[in-house]
């Protein structure tokens, strides 16, 4: 949908737009000075959990994540709110409070926003942050020899789909919420500290969709290890029950031509990797010699799930080879 804009705003005419329409990335980046760039992004969605406060916090963490994925520091945000006219006031307040407290945790501030009436609730943020123009994380920054590290477990799409079908245990939902509300701040700071240049956050295109974008823009090949993937509690069981959102099938149809699976992987295992995520972790291409340093800094946990090679596309094996 954004392709027509490239003709109106040719990249050569805007040299200070460091990241924009020329290559799809997690946020736009505009150079203000030699040592300061502005990072801008926006995101919002309908409720994925029943608790209003948790929904607001998840939506805010998800919006902030795109700034972290670029190596930026959020500075302020604007609310994007659409609410039904008959929604009780205390529920609306809890959604907005959940988002506000998450922004405060990030060290940023909500400076305003816009609210409209809509039949279905929608909430998110427009976020502005700062970064150094020479120390950005981008989807095109992975290099052969890097190690691929994921900083949150997978499966939020499966869990929330199981929740909608009344199939999910409350403890599994709680674990998914705890993961989704966690900021990617430490992971982003760790990536910058060890000199990483390639990263993205895992959201609606699922692990494989976002990994493919990263491999394509970096002009490299990714090898991923299914046996090394971290999963939220209950996810594999719900996957066997078929609790996949429609977006998983869309992701598979759009990206599968670029992915080669080990024959031993079942259809369910493959679908798990197409699962759309909400407020997922960062996928970081870490220089191999600084992996231990990154893992010490990227609290509370991180998982080595693959490697970067020369070539193109993605291969998924059962285990590391």
Q: What is the DSSP letter of 226?
A: G
Q: Quote the strand ranges of 34-108, DSSP E.
A: 36-45, 73-83
Q: Give the Cβ contact number of residue 1 at 10 Å.
A: 4
Query: What was the pLDDT predicted at 212?
Result: 97
- Integer Cα distance of 205 and 272 in angstroms: 12
Show the low-confidence residues of the chain (pLDDT under 70): 1-3, 320-321
Query: What was the pLDDT predicted at 23?
Result: 79
Pick from 173, 178, 63, 203: nearest CA to 123: 63
Q: What is the DSSP letter of 200?
A: E
Helix (H, G, I), strand (E, B) or coil at 258: helix
Residue 86 structure tokens = 């008959």
Query: What was the pLDDT predicted at 321?
Result: 54
Taken in order of first residue, the domains within the chain and their CATH numbers are: 3-131 (3.30.1330.10), 147-317 (3.90.650.10)
Cross-strand pairs, 222: 308, 314
Query: What was the pLDDT predicted at 12?
Result: 84
pLDDT tens digits, one per residue of 147-173: 999 999 999 999 999 999 999 999 999
Query: What was the pLDDT predicted at 9?
Result: 86
Helix (H, G, I), strand (E, B) or coil at 25: coil
Query: What was the pLDDT predicted at 294?
Result: 98
Pick from 66, 64, 76: nearest CA to 136: 66
- Do 78 and 295 form a contact (C-beta atoms < 8 A)? no
CA of 197: how far to CAs of 130, 148, 192, in Å? 16, 12, 8
CA of 7: how far to CAs of 2, 12, 13, 41, 147, in Å? 10, 11, 11, 21, 37
- Give the rounded distance of the alpha carbon of 68 from its chain centre: 10
- Percent of all residues in the chain with a pLDDT value above 90, rounded to a whole number: 93
Question: Three-class SS string for 6-29?
Answer: HHHCCHHHCCCEEECCCCCCCCEE
pLDDT tens digits, one per residue of 133-152: 999 999 999 999 999 999 99
Q: Rounded to the nearest 10 degrees, what angle do helices 170-181 and 156-164 cross at?
A: 140
What's the alpha-carbon Rg for the chain, to the nearest Å? 19
pLDDT tens digits, one per residue of 34-59: 999 999 999 999 999 999 999 999 99
- Do 148 and 307 form a contact (C-beta atoms < 8 A)? yes
- Do 167 and 184 form a contact (C-beta atoms < 8 A)? no
Query: What was the pLDDT predicted at 320?
Result: 67
- Do 316 and 261 form a contact (C-beta atoms < 8 A)? yes
- Do 222 and 283 form a contact (C-beta atoms < 8 A)? no
Cross-strand pairs, 125: 43, 79
- Integer Cα distance of 145 and 159 in angstroms: 34
Helix (H, G, I), strand (E, B) or coil at 198: strand
């Amino acid at each position: 949908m954004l392709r027509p804009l490239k003709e109106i705003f040719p990249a050569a005419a805007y040299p200070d737009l460091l990241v924009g329409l020329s290559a799809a990335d997690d946020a736009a980046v505009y150079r203000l000075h030699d040592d300061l760039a502005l990072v801008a992004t926006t995101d919002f969605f309908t409720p994925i959990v029943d608790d209003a406060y948790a929904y607001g916090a998840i939506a805010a963490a998800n919006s902030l994540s795109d700034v972290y994925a670029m190596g930026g520091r959020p500075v302020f945000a604007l609310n994007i709110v659409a609410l039904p006219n008959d929604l009780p006031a205390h529920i609306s307040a809890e959604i907005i409070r959940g988002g506000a407290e998450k922004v405060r945790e990030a060290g940023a501030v909500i400076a305003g926003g816009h609210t409209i009436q809509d039949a279905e609730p929608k909430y998110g943020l427009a976020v502005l942050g700062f970064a150094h123009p020479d120390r950005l994380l981008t989807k095109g920054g992975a290099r052969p020899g890097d190690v691929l590290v994921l900083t949150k477990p997978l499966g939020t799409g499966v869990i929330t789909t199981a929740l909608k079908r009344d199939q999910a245990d409350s403890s599994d939902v709680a674990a998914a919420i705890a993961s989704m509300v966690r900021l990617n701040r430490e992971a982003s700071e760790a990536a910058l500290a060890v000199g990483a240049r390639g990263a993205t956050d895992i959201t609606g295109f699922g692990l494989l969709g976002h990994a493919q974008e990263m491999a394509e823009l970096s002009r490299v090949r990714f090898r991923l290890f299914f046996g090394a993937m971290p999963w939220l509690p209950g996810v594999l069981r719900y996957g066997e029950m078929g609790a996949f959102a429609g977006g998983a099938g869309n992701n598979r149809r759009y990206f599968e031509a670029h992915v080669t699976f080990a024959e031993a992987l079942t259809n369910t295992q493959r679908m798990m990797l197409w699962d759309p995520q909400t407020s997922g972790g960062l996928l970081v291409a870490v220089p191999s010699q600084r992996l231990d340093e990154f893992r010490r800094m990227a609290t509370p946990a991180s998982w080595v799930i693959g490697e970067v090679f020369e070539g193109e596309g993605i291969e998924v094996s059962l285990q590391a080879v």
